[in-house]
Homo-oligomer: A and B are copies of this chain.
């Protein structure tokens, strides 16, 4: 594996385990067996390294969610598809998802929070768009599209968090449970 990929991969591991601020660039390059200028050759600075990790890992997730959220007059089906996509992605990219989640919840004025917010907003917007399209069939969704998107994302991340901490296993039953719990919340 080339040094650039090695740096991205090892930095992700370290950030995921201990946090961005707690890991120094010196440690990253040590683990990779390279020197500091090599890191700064490929990335603008430490935060730029993180930005690259985010952008390269988010592409796939965003594309899949984009597909799964295409509204075709069956919101339940959409939610099932989206949930499945999230769960499978989290399962296959546990290190990244863990890091991403922790940064999403990190303090508002922390630089890493801004980055996490930026990428998560793209997902939020896809979901909001879907709920907006569903207003044709579900009039009572009107003006709550953003709220629904946020609530749904919150629930997905709650369950993924429980999975990452080995409280639940990801399977069809969990998808069913989440979707119906969410739907019950918005239809009653």
Contacts and interface: CB of A to CB of B under 8 A. Distances in A.
A106 B155 contact: no
Interface residues of A, number: 38
Oligomeric state, in copies? 2
A145 to B, nearest CB: 12
A72 interface: no
B16 A107 contact: yes
A125 B185 CA distance: 26
Contact of A158 (B106, B154, B167, B184): B154
Contact of A22 (B16, B17, B21, B102): B21
A181 interface: yes
B110 A105 contact: no
Contacts of A108: 17, 98
A115 interface: no
A28 to B, nearest CB: 15
Nearest to A153: B158
Interface string A127-160: 0000000000000000000110011001101110
Nearest to A108: B17
B107 A19 contact: yes
22 contacts: A17-B107, A17-B108, A17-B109, A18-B110, A19-B107, A19-B110, A21-B21, A21-B22, A98-B108, A99-B107, A102-B105, A105-B105, A106-B106, A150-B162, A150-B167, A155-B155, A157-B158, A158-B158, A180-B184, A180-B188, A181-B185, A184-B185
Interface of A: 15-19, 21-22, 98-99, 101-102, 104-110, 146-147, 150-151, 154-155, 157-159, 161-162, 167-168, 177, 180-182, 184-185, 188
